[in-house]
Amino acid sequence: MGVSLKRIPKKKYLMPGNAACPGCPETMGMRYLKMALGDNFVMVIPAGCSSVIQGIAPKSGIYSSILNIVFAAGASAAAGMKAAFEALGRDDVNVVVWAGDGGTGDIGFQALSGAAERDDDIIYICVDNEAYMNTGIQRSSLTPYGAWTTTTWKGKQEHKKNIPMILIAHGVKYVATATVGYPMDFIEKVKRASQIRGFKYIHLLAPCPVGWKFDPALTPNLGQLAVKTGLYPLYEFNQGAFRLSPIAARYKDPSKRAPIIEYLKPQGRYRHILNDPEALRRLEEYINEVWKWVAMMEKHYGAGKG
């Protein structure tokens, strides 16, 4: 099912003058979310940059119904809200959790895991800017190896936690990866997820100019480079069937991938490892491991095997 740019709503969903920094990927992602779902959804937002962009009631920087919730309760609050809508006979309303990487992989993880295991009928979107940005760029379990944060001065020593893989292991209906670098791909995935009953998870890579230290004009380019270098494969696991997304499929072939340095160089958070062969080797090794996992998924759950 393709989505035509001409047919997505033109309505503006973010108010001018909201609290987001220039080039903010979270406001881009929220716009695309609204383009995909229209008005018939409620957003559940735990603490993070998006809850600040949202603003303080009764005013709001976002044209949407929003429940602002404590960090640990994003998925459980959404599950309860969905049950309440169903009790009211309104099961047409999508309930969407919009949580950061800290809110997803660390502090909200138990609620996320519980909702996934119960197959609660919600869409959970992790807006992954790879650190606790709202409180001043602290490391999270989704910060990648080598990246500087205010709590990893010499670069993080551990690799990124693979949340989509963990969610697939829960046996949920739908898991996908996306980035603000490819808006139409993200919009299509949100639309597809909204048509499935049960638990849906979308991981949205959201390059943050402040925390990653790059020129704010480059936000979409960095999302695209994460895919082109092979660091971040785009895929869908839809009701037992795994497939690489068409724009990412060519990077299965290592010779088609952009060199990792093209992704690292524009980002100040990697400045200290650009001339460190061992750090670069570890990142290359990480890419190889990610693609081994993709190959395993294609072998067992690829087209026709779901």
Residues in contact with ligand SF4 by CB under 6 A are: 20-21, 24, 26, 49, 129, 133, 208-211
Nearest to 71 by CA among 121, 105, 114: 105
**Binding to ligand TPP in span 231-250, by CB under 6 A:** none
Q: Does residue 48 touch ligand TPP according to CB under 6 A?
A: yes
- Distance CA(54)–CA(65), nearest Å, equals 10
Work out which of 47, 123, 205, 260 binds ligand TPP, going by CB under 6 A.
47
As given in the structure block, the two tokens for residue 90 are 């309104």
Work out which of 29, 61, 74, 103 binds ligand TPP, going by CB under 6 A.
103
209 binds, among ligand SF4, Mg ion, ligand TPP, none (CB under 5 to 8 A by kind): ligand SF4
Under a CB-based contact definition with an 8 Å cutoff, are residues 237 and 170 in contact? no
Q: Which residues are paired to 124 by β-bridges?
A: 97, 201
Q: Does residue 49 touch ligand TPP according to CB under 6 A?
A: yes
The torsion angles phi and psi of 178, rounded to 5 degrees, stand at -155, 175
Q: What is the end-to-end Cα distance of the chain in Å, rounded?
A: 19
Under a CB-based contact definition with an 8 Å cutoff, are residues 111 and 75 in contact? yes
**Binding to ligand TPP in span 133-172, by CB under 6 A:** 133-135, 140
Q: Which is nearer to ligand TPP, 110 or 135 (CB)?
A: 135
Site stretch for ligand TPP (CB under 6 A), options 3-11, 130-138, 165-173, 291-299: 130-138
Q: Which is nearer to ligand TPP, 60 or 68 (CB)?
A: 68
Name the CA dihedral angle for 108, 112, 115, 119, rounded to a multiple of 10 degrees: 170
**Binding to Mg ion in span 113-132, by CB under 5 A:** 129
21 binds, among ligand TPP, ligand SF4, Mg ion, none (CB under 5 to 8 A by kind): ligand SF4
Instruction: Give one word for 146, left, alpha or beta, with left for phi > 0 and alpha for psi -120 to 50.
Output: left
Residue 209 CB, shortest distance to ligand TPP, in Å, is 13
As given in the structure block, the two tokens for residue 39 are 């008005």
